[in-house]
Structure 1
Amino acid sequence: MMQMPTGKVVAIIKRNWRPFCGMLNSSLIKESTRHLFTPADRRVPRIRIETRQAAALLSQRIMVAIDGWPRHSRYPHGHFVRSLGAAGDKETETEVLLLEHDVPHQDFSQAVLSFLPKMPWSITPEDMAVREDLRALTVCSVDPPGCTDIDDALHCKTLENGNFEVGVHIADVSHFIRPGNALDLEAANRGTTVYLCGRRIDMVPELLSSNLCSLRSNVERLAFSSIWEMDDKANIVKTRFTKSVINSKASLTYAEAQLRIDDTNMNDDITNSLRGLNKLAKILKRRRIEKGALTLSSLEVRFHIDSETHDPIDLQTKELMETNSMVEEFMLLANISVAQKIYDEFSECALLRKHPAPPPSNYDILNKAAQSKGLAIHTDSAKALADSLDMAKVDGFPYFNTLLRILATRCMMQAVYFCSGMDSNFHHYGLASPIYTHFTSPIRRYSDIMVHRMLAVSIGADCTYPDLTDKHKQSALCNNLNYRHKMSQYAQRASVAFHTQLFFKSRGIVNEEGFILFVRKNAIIVLIPKFGLEGTVFFDNKDKTGPKLVFDEEGPSLMVEQHIFKIFDKVKVTISLDDSNVQHQKIRMSLVEPEIPGVSVPVPEVGPMAKKPKLDV
């Protein structure tokens, strides 16, 4: 038997207590003033509080702070802080998930707003004197529908020597946010913009995010440009960086840009620029993949929100087009080019981003899943993994490769920001790049603002300051950025989960086909491609009267009665909302097919939702 290192807690140096969101226990005694509070976070114990408002607070989400935990008490003691609103209400639940994930979302203070430029704002002759005038270029932006915080724009034109000039133009946010003032400190603390379903929590005030820094069409904007000369094989002949002034000629969605590229009747400057970009992007992508960059997969859903009630009325998996990839390729190229430039200039304090290679044990589930279909996945390098995934196909099962890539995504480590002087491993595993940073989204990521400042110093466009070259302060900043980025991802997932619950609450029971992603001792985890939804089908055997279960960890497989479930098996399930616990509502799945007597549920009568044509997956 393998020995495990063990230890014991001998002292608590600092309590990580914070106000907790949750609800009073429903079984309260009306006459009493002492009550138990159940936090939304299941890891936190119940808290004993005293309040005379218990009856009024019973169906409310409330906030409670811990005061202490006496040695003789089963529960910590705390006090009521404030009510957040009725449980289940959209505004209340959004507030709870922001608080629970430590997302700063208060209104910007007057001190912060005082550092915004005075309106009306315009580009001054002084600005023009120190910038390159690129207003005549056919620059355009390509973004998701409804995007108002446009960070980036692109251009491509043919040079006299037959080569291409390609430019990535990024909003010059660092021009407006100067180091050390209240606006800068607030942006550094927030770290990132958080995108929830139907709501955006800005990192910087709206005047900047949706107006002065947003590279909207037909207005002059300050930019930081990365410009390359490329040959027709997308080889870089020359690279330069410059502060600039641009005037975007079009703000397009991915779909609109794709239509222009595909329409042979369109031959205007914008369309020709897009075609040039698309042609070069395909070469860049092929070259990246040849070097071992990974093309992984995750199912993202997009909610269609009712404009009046703000309820989700439909949802669909996001469709990716060539133009998504086109924009991505040039953003990656800009990030890599800038990373090398700032590292050359600031070898000890450059803010970079790395993606560690996963330990071999992370791939266990992926290897077992592939072996179940008679395939081998090689994981000794990113290139070997990428090639294995490309070749992994099963006849008659076109969705198999996507499922395998979803599993591969789960094996990956988290990418993180770091200071170059505090680390020696710079490699980005997923992109197969020896160096990488974030430069292309300064409206919504503070890391990019710092990178802009370093790049500006390296080309003589701005002056340095002490904190910029202090590797210990840079490292502390990276730690906060990594924390904020992680909590932002968790908050976004929680928002999708809540809106998914709202969606199914109004639809009753829905029947859908799905695939098994994981097999557990008493359950299967099923992915529903149509909804980008994962759920667990439990085979309850706690009281020994349930179905006979035999779990094989090596497979992995689970035998329920006489039926064996394996990864990638197709099943049919019912999806419904279990709202018996107001605070912890969850999506519940039950097996319909295969039919196992005493286990599968009969096909229920369902509402109009189930009769809609299925989306292609």
Structure 2
Amino acid sequence: MGRDNKKKSKRQNGHKQGNGDTYKGRLDVTRSGMGFVIVEELDDDILIRPNDFNSALHGDTVRVEVIPARDGKRMQGAVVQVIERKQSEFIGKLQVSKGFGFVVGGEGDRKTPDIFIPESAFNGATEGDRVVARVKDWATGTGKRPTGEIVTVLSPEDTNDIAMKEILLESGFPLEFPDDVLEETARIPDIIPQEEIEKRRDFRKILTFTIDPVDAKDFDDALSIRVLKNGNYEIGVHIADVGHYVAPGTALDENAYSKATSVYLPDRVNPMLPEHISNVLCSLRPHEDKLTFSAVFEMTPKGKVEGYWLGKTIIHSDHRFTYEDVQEIIETQEGHLRDEVLLLNSIARRLRKKRFDAGAINFSSQEVRFKLDEKGKPIGIVVKESKESHQLIEEFMLLANKYVAEHVGKIKVNKKPVPFPYRVHDLPSEEKLLPFMAFARKFGHKFDMSSPEKIAESFNGMLQDAHGKPEQHVLEQLGIRTMAKAVYTTENIGHYGLGFPDYCHFTSPIRRYPDILVHRILLSILENDIEIDKKMEEKCRHSSERERAAMEAERAANKYKQVEYMSDYMGEEFDGVISGVSAFGFWVETVDHKCEGMVSVTSLIDYDEFRLVQEDYSLVGQRSGRTFRMGDRVRIKVIAANLDKRTLDYEWVMTPAELEAETARKSKKGGSTKSARRRKKGDDPDF
């Protein structure tokens, strides 16, 4: 948005209340307790002091009254209204008085409110219990405490479970479904009526199967395949028809929209929909008739799409594959439904090559999974890479998403496009790209910035050239950081990373609300009964925000498990790779476990004074010239693990070669090597 347009939006969105303009935005409370309201239309955030929160908490959508900035000072304000609460459930300790009690949260960096609980709402909790309390009345502006009820009493010894629940609640994801949602779910019939079957294209006699993770229960996509008389193949991408069960305006739908996504933590799933829907009614389980919404393609053996059909279907999955099953078939060329799996993989390979030839960027991905004991404590870490079995499914899902978006994009109502939740990905910003290009040039990689297509081509060339080399990991990490974040919006600017001019999310409606919206709009187009949703952009923004919150929760939970895992290795040494640098130290990710911790610059003070060289992503010693650069391999020792803050502290350890070089350097200067020897043994507490 240009600056002139921003000024226009400010005038339109801000309005007078009292002495200053008011704006709607999201309150972000920092670790220090200071608040900032982020307003989309403003260039700068609005500073809110803790006394001016007016009961608002971190993440709440608020209306803020602005105190005009003077003499170049930062714009400040006060919250005058809480529009939407991010969090309504909190974990704390019950403190009981006669006839009532309070649930008191921890002090923490973002202190939660004390919640008044009438004795009738204790629900079995007693003095000192750790509980989950749900706020029923915030009593904003009255000076009174919020009033609530206890919904769960937590087991005091299960700290792991409490930590995961706190992460979900802090991110605004309730732990349980409201009663009205569960009641609506219970009323949904399990049996598919015959009249519904007759409305749909019947795929039940066509070979169909699913491919999912070994521990998955919510199978939301299946593939079907058959040979046509002309020698081409009919390949169906069948997606769970969640919209059949989740109707607009119901409590079930409103709750799903509020969450907007399922959240996948290391030891649990916080589902967007009740498990009876996600794991039973809609899950495309083998040997059961299931209602689906499908994208069906006629394809040549070389993967060219000759035609497609979109519509409601019914399927009957013949087999449930895991990714491991399919990978074994691909690698051994043997196994159940071998010919069909290999054929689909051959077509997926061609689709993938075509995508990258057309400008998609080929970043590789790794997934870290924890092996957990019965109490959720991590006892091992497995690093999984994307293999051909994953890519097989990925390519057909991308194909369906692309064709659905293209189909909808052609439709006009009153010469205007239909409001639709496109999944878009903007070009990388020049501000982030230029320093990355300068860094990549040090490894011999040149970028052509003459067009977006040439930039993508340069990225792919760099990734291909760097594959297997020491710099591969750092260039991939930094390359990803230059990229914009993909979001949902009605403004279709295309998906740069995938190289698609039109793209949406159609294939995962069990776990993503935008997919449900896509299904509804597509159905209205197919039935020629289009309703224009004027709030679609607002729904897109909400879905993008909830997606970010889920990702933050997943990162926080993974970090907690990393800290929990590494706390058993206090004082032990590991090989690592520098994964980030700042003026106050550098982060190291262990090679074997992918567990990231910080080496503080203060722990290096006996060796040298280090300064940050931002354009080189490095810390450089002022006297010695010693460099710690992102991507360098280093040896570290685990010295601290803080579960509350989810942080790991590492100490840099000299290798024998580094110790020898340091000894020689100090000898030349007449310095003692005693300190260096002590540090190698781990006896020096200051290093």
TM-score norm. by structure 2 comes to: 0.74
SS at match of 1:402: helix
1:93 CA displacement? 1.0
Q: Amino acid of the residue matched to residue 246 of structure 1?
A: I
Structure 1 counterpart of 2:351? 284
Structure 2 counterpart of 1:414? 485
Structure 1 counterpart of 2:410? 344
Question: Retained in 2: the 8 A contact 1:112–1:186?
Answer: no
SS at match of 1:357: coil
Distance 1:61 1:539, change over 3 A: farther
Distance 1:88 1:377, change over 3 A: farther
Q: Amino acid of the residue matched to residue 129 of structure 1?
A: E
- Counterpart mapping for 1:169-568 below 5 A: 169-266=238-335, 270-306=337-373, 308-345=374-411, 347-378=417-448, 381-392=451-462, 398-419=469-490, 423=491, 425-460=492-527, 468-471=531-534, 473-540=535-602, 547-560=608-621, 562=624, 563-568=626-631
- Counterpart mapping for 1:566-585 below 5 A: 566-579=629-642, 583-585=644-646
**Superposed CA offset, 1:343-386 (max 9, x none):** 33362312211111121112245224313324334455554344
How far apart in 2 are the matches of 1:510 and 1:80? Answer: 48
Q: Amino acid of the residue matched to residue 525 of structure 1?
A: W
1:62 CA displacement? 8.8
**Superposed CA offset, 1:489-529 (max 9, x none):** 11111111111122122343442222223332231222334
1:300 CA displacement? 2.6
Distance 1:117 1:382, change over 3 A: farther
Structure 2 unaligned spans of 5+: 1-43, 45-71, 94-101, 118-125, 663-672
Structure 1 counterpart of 2:26? none
For the pair 1:602 / 2:655, whether they are aligned, the reply is no
How far apart in 2 are the matches of 1:354 and 1:504? Answer: 38
How far apart in 2 are the matches of 1:451 and 1:19? Answer: 29
**Superposed CA offset, 1:452-476 (max 9, x none):** 112222222x965xxx5222x2122
**Superposed CA offset, 1:517-548 (max 9, x none):** 33322312223342223322112189x87732
Q: Amino acid of the residue matched to residue 348 of structure 1?
A: V
1:92 CA displacement? 1.4
Question: Retained in 2: the 8 A contact 1:170–1:224?
Answer: yes
Matched residue count: 567
How far apart in 2 are the matches of 1:521 and 1:539? Answer: 8
SS at match of 2:352: helix
Distance 1:283 1:601, change over 3 A: farther
Q: Amino acid of the residue matched to residue 602 of structure 1?
A: K
Question: Retained in 2: the 8 A contact 1:166–1:227?
Answer: yes
What is the RMSD of the two structures over their aligned residues, measured on CA atoms?
3.7
| Higher-RCO chain (CA-CA 8 Å, sequence separation at least 6) | 1
Structure 2 counterpart of 1:589? 650
How far apart in 1 are the matches of 2:262 and 2:324? Answer: 24
1:144 CA displacement? 1.2
Question: Retained in 2: the 8 A contact 1:151–1:443?
Answer: yes
Distance 1:400 1:545, change over 3 A: closer
Question: Retained in 1: the 8 A contact 2:439–2:615?
Answer: no
Structure 2 counterpart of 1:114? 184
Distance 1:589 1:365, change over 3 A: farther
Structure 1 counterpart of 2:665? none
How far apart in 2 are the matches of 1:565 and 1:88? Answer: 40
Q: Amino acid of the residue matched to residue 326 of structure 1?
A: L
SS at match of 2:445: coil
1:7 CA displacement? 3.8
How far apart in 2 are the matches of 1:440 and 1:251? Answer: 18
Question: Retained in 1: the 8 A contact 2:364–2:386?
Answer: no
SS at match of 1:341: helix
| Aligned mate of 1:105, from 175, 200, 206 | 175
1:264 CA displacement? 3.4
SS at match of 2:330: helix
1:412 CA displacement? 1.7
**Superposed CA offset, 1:175-223 (max 9, x none):** 1111211111111111111111111111111111111111111111111
Distance 1:47 1:439, change over 3 A: closer
**Superposed CA offset, 1:140-186 (max 9, x none):** 11111111000101123332212221110111111111121111111
1:586 CA displacement? 1.7
How far apart in 1 are the matches of 2:220 and 2:432? Answer: 35
How far apart in 2 are the matches of 1:589 and 1:60? Answer: 33
SS at match of 1:332: helix
How far apart in 2 are the matches of 1:323 and 1:548? Answer: 49
How far apart in 2 are the matches of 1:48 and 1:452? Answer: 42
SS at match of 1:433: coil
For the pair 1:135 / 2:204, whether they are aligned, the reply is yes
Distance 1:46 1:578, change over 3 A: same
How far apart in 1 are the matches of 2:467 and 2:195? Answer: 65
Question: Retained in 1: the 8 A contact 2:429–2:483?
Answer: no
How far apart in 1 are the matches of 2:247 and 2:502? Answer: 27
TM-score norm. by structure 1 comes to: 0.82
SS at match of 1:227: strand
Question: Retained in 1: the 8 A contact 2:473–2:631?
Answer: no
Structure 2 counterpart of 1:154? 223
Distance 1:571 1:334, change over 3 A: same
Structure 1 unaligned spans of 5+: 25-33, 71-75, 606-617
How far apart in 2 are the matches of 1:375 and 1:329? Answer: 29
**Superposed CA offset, 1:385-424 (max 9, x none):** 44333433778962422331121112222211112xxx3x
Identity within the alignment, %: 27
Structure 1 counterpart of 2:12? none
How far apart in 2 are the matches of 1:397 and 1:253? Answer: 29
Question: Retained in 1: the 8 A contact 2:401–2:507?
Answer: yes
How far apart in 1 are the matches of 2:182 and 2:467? Answer: 59
How far apart in 1 are the matches of 2:404 and 2:273? Answer: 23
SS at match of 1:300: strand
How far apart in 2 are the matches of 1:414 and 1:510? Answer: 37
How far apart in 1 are the matches of 2:157 and 2:602? Answer: 30
Distance 1:536 1:64, change over 3 A: farther
How far apart in 2 are the matches of 1:58 and 1:584? Answer: 23
Q: Which moved more, 1:76-85 or 1:402-411?
A: 76-85
SS at match of 2:480: helix
How far apart in 1 are the matches of 2:90 and 2:134? Answer: 7
Question: Retained in 1: the 8 A contact 2:327–2:387?
Answer: yes
- Counterpart mapping for 1:14-33 below 5 A: 14=81
Q: Amino acid of the residue matched to residue 680 of structure 2?
A: P
1:37 CA displacement? 7.3
Q: Amino acid of the residue matched to residue 559 of structure 1?
A: V
1:112 CA displacement? 4.3
Question: Retained in 1: the 8 A contact 2:363–2:476?
Answer: yes
How far apart in 1 are the matches of 2:614 and 2:246? Answer: 55
Distance 1:148 1:290, change over 3 A: same
